């Protein structure tokens, strides 16, 4: 008899709702009611779509999700909460998970509902499934393999390189990783992989 399938569900591969993206798409502007459709795709193929309605006018702001899962309709509200920004420039928004009631900035869809990661048992992030050797290679040479992603982050539309005349921490971190990646010799990687 074959061994049962034991590979965990990966948070990195499931549909996600992110406060950062909702804010970027103007869904979390103060005192508004706005509706729209969110779609996810992978390799050019649509993997998911939901209708949302965000109400920030209400005393208890919420996002209403409306979609089908396994051809069954799902419609429910996820309440939002906020705290004042430490820069006194607006609010920092959070989801309140409908199941755990925890505050979070991302919700994951596993089993048909968008919930906080602690609502799911046996799920992991991709990096948690890697071997010790793989993690060590990633730590040593990871920047080399991610250099294209680092450059795309650097040249994103609203990326801030400087704030008040000083380089931002994120900009400095990306530049440090790019310099590290460019200093790695190709033969070093081959030698490490053959060990």
Residue-wise pLDDT tens digits, 5-30:
567 888 888 999 999 999 999 999 98
Q: What is the pLDDT of residue 195?
A: 66
The whole-angstrom separation of Cα 123 and Cα 126 is 10
137 vs 28, which has greater pLDDT?
28
Residue 34 has pLDDT above 80, yes or no: yes
Tell me what the pLDDT averaged over the chain comes to.
88
In what helix (H) or strand (E) does residue 135 lie, and over which residues does it extend? helix 132-145
Model confidence, pTM:
0.73
The two three-digit tokens of residue 79, written as one number: 């309440």
The whole-angstrom separation of Cα 55 and Cα 122 is 33
To which residue do tokens 């309140």 refer?
96
Residue ranges covered by each domain of the chain: 11-119, 130-194
Cβ partners under 8 Å of residue 41, min gap 6: 47
5 vs 109, which has greater pLDDT?
109
The whole-angstrom separation of Cα 153 and Cα 178 is 11
Residue-wise pLDDT tens digits, 97-108:
999 999 999 999
4 vs 29, which has greater pLDDT?
29
Q: What is the pLDDT of residue 158?
A: 86
């Amino acid at each position: 008899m074959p061994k049962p399938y034991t590979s965990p569900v990966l948070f990195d591969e499931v549909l996600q709702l992110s406060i950062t993206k909702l804010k970027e798409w103007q869904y979390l502007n103060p005192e508004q009611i706005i509706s729209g459709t969110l779609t996810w795709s992978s390799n050019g193929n649509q993997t998911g779509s939901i209708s949302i309605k965000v109400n920030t006018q209400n005393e208890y702001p919420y996002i209403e999700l409306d979609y089908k899962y396994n051809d069954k309709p799902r419609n429910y509200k996820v309440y939002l909460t906020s705290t004042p920004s430490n820069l006194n420039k607006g609010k920092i928004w959070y989801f309140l998970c409908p199941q755990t009631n925890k505050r979070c900035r991302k919700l994951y869809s596993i089993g048909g509902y968008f919930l906080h990661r602690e609502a799911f048992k046996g799920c992991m992030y991709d990096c948690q499934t890697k071997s010790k050797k793989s993690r060590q290679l990633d730590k040593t040479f990871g920047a080399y393999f991610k250099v294209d992603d680092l450059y795309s982050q650097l040249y994103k539309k609203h990326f801030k390189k400087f704030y008040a005349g000083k380089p931002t921490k994120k900009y400095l971190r990306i530049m440090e990783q790019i310099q590290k990646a460019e200093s790695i010799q190709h033969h070093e990687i081959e030698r490490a992989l053959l060990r």
